[in-house]
Amino acid sequence: MEKIIERALRESIKVKEEFVQENISNLTFVAEKIANAFTSDRKLMICGNGGSAADAQHIAAEFVNRFMLERPSLPAVALTTDTSIITSIANDYSFDEVFSKQVKAIGMEGDILLAISTSGNSANVIAAIKAARGQGIYTVAFAGSDGGKIRTLADLSLVVKSNTTPRIQEAHILAGHIICQLVDFILFQQPATEY
């Protein structure tokens, strides 16, 4: 069991380190886009399935409540949380539309959509990206492996080059935390030493 633990740790560190090094400029760019949306009275919408749904809720909570700074709440919405909306859409139409119908209902030009899919091929995430782009909403994808279909559909894709779902998810939540920290810095200009 100790070997399993040590191997998981080594793999996690390696995957995250490679992902961050390859995406430093992308992470900075995404943070700037989100900060600009917030200062323009726009919002961040986040979606994903399973563990990615949990990541969507986690990241939204960091913005709405706080991350590391005491600061005003920031407008982020996880499209994964309203069970009545999700189940009614899935029942009346299709599970493929559970996010896209929400994007169409509450999305506005100038918003940002963060679409999370470890495979990059989740049909409902793909539909959300397409709906967002049709409304002038900038789309960012977090994916894994080769990026799947969303790699070319989103305006910007950050791909974790791993085929192991837990390692991909660990890199995604690290990316989410880094973006939260950067947005806080951009908007509130706290010296880096306070982090």
What is the reported pLDDT for 99?
98
90 band by pLDDT with thresholds 50, 70 and 90: very high
Q: How far apart are CA 93 and CA 85, in angstroms?
A: 12
* pLDDT 10s digits, 14-33: 999 999 999 999 999 999 99
Which residue bears the tokens 């049709």? 134
Lowest mean pLDDT among 25-34, 36-45, 63-72, 98-107: 63-72
Q: What domains does the chain contain, in order, with CATH numbers?
A: 2-194 (3.40.50.10490)
Name the nearest CA neighbour of 179 among 41, 30, 51, 50: 30
77 band by pLDDT with thresholds 50, 70 and 90: very high
- Report the interhelical angle of 2-39 vs 165-188 (nearest 10°): 40
142 neighbors 115 (Cβ within 8 angstroms):
yes
Reading the block at residue 27, the tokens are 């992470």
Name the nearest CA neighbour of 44 among 120, 174, 129, 138: 138
pLDDT at residue 170 greater than cutoff 50: yes
* pLDDT 10s digits, 91-150: 999 999 999 999 999 999 999 999 999 999 999 999 999 999 999 999 999 999 999 999
Q: How far apart are CA 69 and CA 66, in angstroms?
A: 6
What is the reported pLDDT for 195?
47
190 band by pLDDT with thresholds 50, 70 and 90: low
Name the nearest CA neighbour of 143 among 39, 69, 47: 47
What is the reported pLDDT for 191?
57
Q: Is the pTM of this model over 0.85?
A: yes
What are the residues whose beta carbons fall under 8 Å from the beta carbon of 156, sequence distance 6 or more?
Answer: 26, 29, 30, 138, 139, 140, 141
Reading the block at residue 77, the tokens are 């919405």
What is the reported pLDDT for 189?
86
Name the nearest CA neighbour of 175 among 142, 151, 146, 147: 142
22 neighbors 160 (Cβ within 8 angstroms):
no
